[in-house]
Amino acid sequence: MTAPAPLPGPSVSERLARVWLSARTEPGDRVVAAMVAGAGAEATVERLASGRTPAQLAGPVGTDQTPLVSAEAVLEAAERRRLRWVCPGDSEWPQLLDDLEGIVDSSGRGGIPPGLWVRGEGRLADHLTDAVAVVGARASTEYGNDVAGELSADLSEAGLCVVSGAAYGIDAAAHRGALAVRGRTVAVLACGADVSYPRGHDSLLARIADQDLVVSEAPPGDHPTRVRFLARNRLIAAVSRAVVVVEAAWRSGALNTLRWAGELQRHAMGVPGPVTSVLSAGVHQALRERRAELVTNAADVRELLAPLGAPPLPGASGWNRGDRRAVDALDGTSLAVLEALPAGLAVPATSVAESTGIDDDTVTVALGRLLVEGLVETTASGWRVIARRQRSSTGGSSGGQPAS
């Protein structure tokens, strides 16, 4: 039997219309989303550019007489910044985003985005297969960071993709946990995918883009605002099978992501914390009101994701169940050095020092510690990460002399 022909992607004019909407309207504008859903992107652009709607644009309407030409300029600028445009109809468009149609939250944000700007080489839909969002407080505690990092590492090793927002605190711990075990992780930003925000996460975002993907609804170069964070939260929830909140105060933005999970009928989960911690008060409230399921580790998350009647899920032992990994005992410097080593490549210690901003002597000491732990090995070209399966078969340290 002949296989069915693949569905055609969006036309050039449709794609350009969606680029124009991304560049000229605010992310999550419910009026624009409703117009696109009802009349299509091209008709929506025609109406907006001619001023025949009250929808708010990101600039004076009268200055944009040739919207599709201006959209081409945006695409060209994006390509120079190594970004690409993915929109509905493309083969790598995440179909779960279509669940956003017609859904609006209390802030007035909602609807399917016209498209997403993507930084990184992998296919977006493939990276987001079986994704779980791990989000939480920016001003997190050591407890919260440890839980988020361990949870994310275990989820990654179980084959799930970890999605978060690359903010300080829990988000960063989640991304780093996935990166430490070479798992999949996707950062969803409230600014342009080419913008390093927060500025202190420039190297983290570069690492995610190199190994995985950074995505945003906002056009290249745009900076975040409060409403853009709220709009971004719906995307994190939409592309994920579950949202796990680790530490959230009463008014935490992470709880907005949890509410979106409920609206989209995704699994909503929360990790409890100390009853005396204000950073866990929001999570505890959600658990008490049964807006979230209580989880303590990756095994709990996977159990809730498993189909009814399915056999027990292997792997992903919990962070508090006694099955520890070598990376669990690493200090922050050693973990940063391990993350800086590119997958599958050997590099000299000086390159690691340059990429991390850590002095050469400290990097050399950290690499020696990683060598003893059996996490790296030395070659004629420099230092290289040992694949997890190779560590298991060799039982630890690779030996060899430190490379310079």
* Residue 320 confidence (pLDDT): 42
Tens of pLDDT, residues 89-102? 999 999 999 999 99
Residue at token pair 């901003």: 357
Backbone φ and ψ for 377, nearest 5 degrees, come out as -140, 165
Hey, is 213 helix, strand or coil? strand
Q: Is the pTM of this model over 0.85?
A: no
Domains, the chain: 118-305 (3.40.50.450), 326-394 (1.10.10.10)
Tens of pLDDT, residues 107-163? 789 999 999 999 999 999 999 999 999 999 999 999 999 999 999 999 999 999 999
Partner residues linked to 269 by β-bridges:
244, 293
Dihedral sign for Cα 214, 216, 220, 222, please: negative
User: From CA 275, how far away is CA 160, in angstroms rounded?
Assistant: 30
Length of the chain, please? 404
The Cβ of residue 9 has, within 10 Å, a number of other Cβ atoms equal to 14
User: From CA 69, how far away is CA 16, in angstroms rounded?
Assistant: 8
Tens of pLDDT, residues 184-204? 999 999 999 999 999 999 999
